[in-house]
Amino acid sequence: MDILMLSNGKIAGNEHVMGFASEAIIEQVKRTGAKKWVLIPYAVIRSSHDDRVAMVQQTFDALGLDCQVTGLHQAKDPVAALKAADGILVSGGNTWVLNKTLHDLGLVGPIRKAVLDRGVPYIGWSAGTNIACPTIRTTNDMPIITGAVLPSLNLVPFQINPHYLEAKVEGHNGETRDERIQEFLEVNQHEPVIGIPEGTWLHLHNDQLSYHSANGKDLKLFSYGNEPLYYSEQQNIQFLMAHSC
């Protein structure tokens, strides 16, 4: 498998979506030879799915990659479209809408088969990274739909918190991100959570997990009963694949 899990889409001062991970995307395209990419846009709520496809096509074009992006929402038969795709992209937006739509359309199995069995490259950001986890329990998104589905693609055996942020808004008494993750750990004491700040990503390639940071920010590993630990992109994080901390 060749799975890129980005914290977010855009970062300040970077005009293209996924721009901060340009080198990783170029390498992945060259390594896999993937030309026909299908974008899963169901998380996108406040703009059109077609626009999101165009936005991602612009990134590929700007990187000088000879790749074509189509939207899975445009396919008459989404399962057939996934089978025909050389690569799968999953846009950010609302994780709840994305995950439920994948289940409603019967796409969880086909995506897992493509990525895990056929080795089709996967690039997700934000919600597209949340759904690579066993469940979406570490999303930051509001559960805007009544039919909540939590189990997800389970491409990696741990929970990721994308857009991870240590900041506290002065004077605000709502829970910090760390406090929310500590609540997760209290209830799920055997499941680590990996916070990845904006501008960073995880890469799972042939069972080897690595962390990458475009801005020097570290990954933050939360596990029950322990102080959180920071890992830089130089450090080995392969132990996370064993799903124990």
Binding its own copies (rule: CB under 8 A), the pick from 91, 101, 129, 138 is 138
With respect to its own copies, which residue has the nearer C-beta, 65 or 201?
A: 201
- The yes or no reply on residue 234 touching its own copies (CB under 8 A) is no
Q: What is the rounded distance in angstroms from the CA atom of residue 59 to the CA atom of residue 52?
A: 11
- The yes or no reply on residue 163 touching its own copies (CB under 8 A) is yes
Q: Which of residues 18-77 bind its own copies (CB under 8 A)?
A: 45-46
Binding its own copies (rule: CB under 8 A), the pick from 154, 176, 188, 210 is 188
What is each CA distance from 97 to 115, 135, 241, in whole angstroms? Answer: 21, 14, 27
Binding its own copies (rule: CB under 8 A), the pick from 31, 80, 179, 243 is 179
- The yes or no reply on residue 135 touching its own copies (CB under 8 A) is yes
- The yes or no reply on residue 220 touching its own copies (CB under 8 A) is no
Instruction: List residues near its own copies by CB under 8 A.
Output: 8-12, 45-46, 93-94, 97, 126, 135-148, 150-151, 163, 165, 167, 169, 171-175, 179-184, 186-188, 198
